[in-house]
Structure 1
Amino acid sequence: MKTFNIGELSAQSGVASHAIRFYERESLMPEPARTQSNYRRYPEDAIARLQFIIHAKQWGFTLDEIRELLMLQDANGDRAEAKRIASEQLQKIRYQIQNLSRIEAVLSKTLEKCSGEGPMEGCPIVEAIAEKG
């Protein structure tokens, strides 16, 4: 079985070496085998695991949620738990979308009110941010 040192794994996965070490400390990556010189050696499936972590982060999952999903995957756990985690994430995303839509509407109206000229005092952009902050 082919194994990689941390630099090779970083190059293959696109994940920085310091991030790989961080994921190990956070128990997202299993402890790798070590050489007699104490160098880390990662199996090929570490690439797919790192890519899963990166994709899950892009989808907005927290490290705790990612850890839970990985533990379910490692233990061939219950799909219902994975569905629960994903459903909670979807609710959070929908809430964020609603908030961003409100912010977009206020910012759009505020930009229409701002002439873009003159001193900052009384600037509708700054005033709107101060009100909504």
Structure 2
Amino acid sequence: MTSLSIGRLARATDVKVPTIRFYEQIGLLPEPERTQSDRRLYGEADVRRLAFIKHARQLGFAVEAIRSLLALADDPDRPCAEANALAAEQLAVVETKIERLQALRHELRRMARADCDGRAGDCRVIEALGDHSLCADDHDRPATPGALGAL
């Protein structure tokens, strides 16, 4: 087994050292073996697990969802239904964010097209920002379904 220092693990996975320590602290990564001088040592399983976590974070999964997905990965005989449900939930979150971003884009395009070249007191952008009722879209609704958080 190849032993990697935390710095080499960070370079191998393109994950910052403080992030690796954080993942250990919250239990996503197991406590690593230690040398006599108390330096952390990581193996190939740690590289794979950290790559899994990084990819899940890139896809927007929350820490608790990643914890559940790791538990499934650690027990390959369990049914995949929970992983499917977590992926479907994350897809819904992303689709809602996309809808909100599209509404924001539409409103910003509309504001920019006003192309006011007069004084700020007559500026349509300033006017629209000061009075939400002048907006064409309802872009202030929550970005995610339920109480999952804002954009």
For residue 79 of structure 1, what is the aligned residue in structure 2? 80
Amino acid across the alignment from 2:95 = R
Q: Which runs of 5+ in 1 are unaligned?
A: none
TM-score, with length taken from structure 1: 0.89
Structure 2 match to 1:63: 63
For 1:101-128, what per-residue CA distance to the aligned partner results, in whole angstroms no more than 9, with x for missing partners?
111111111110132x344334322333
1:105–1:71 CA distance, 2 compared to 1 (3 A): same
Over 3 Å counting, the alpha-carbon distance change for 1:126 and 1:58 in structure 2 is farther
For residues 114-125 of structure 1, the aligned pairs below 5 Å read: 114-115=115-116, 117-125=117-125
What whole-Å deviation, never above 9, does each CA across 1:66-95 have from its counterpart, x for those lacking one?
111111111223210000100101111111
- Tell me which stretches of 4 or more aligned residues in structure 1 moved more than 2 Å: 75-78, 117-130
Compared with structure 1, are the counterparts of its residues 100 and 20 closer, same or farther at alpha carbon in structure 2 (3 Å cutoff)? same
Report 1:1-133 matches (<5 A). 1-76=1-76, 77-115=78-116, 117-130=117-130, 131=132
Higher share in helix: 1
CA displacement 1:1-32 (0-9 Å, x = unmatched): 11101011111111111110011112111111
Unaligned runs of 5+ in 2: 133-138, 141-151
Q: How many residues align?
A: 132
Quick one: structure 1 residues 32 and 109, their matched pair in 2 at CA, closer, same or farther if it must change by over 3 Å?
Answer: same
Percent of pairs with identical residues:
38
> Matches of 2:39 and 2:114 in 1, distance apart?
61
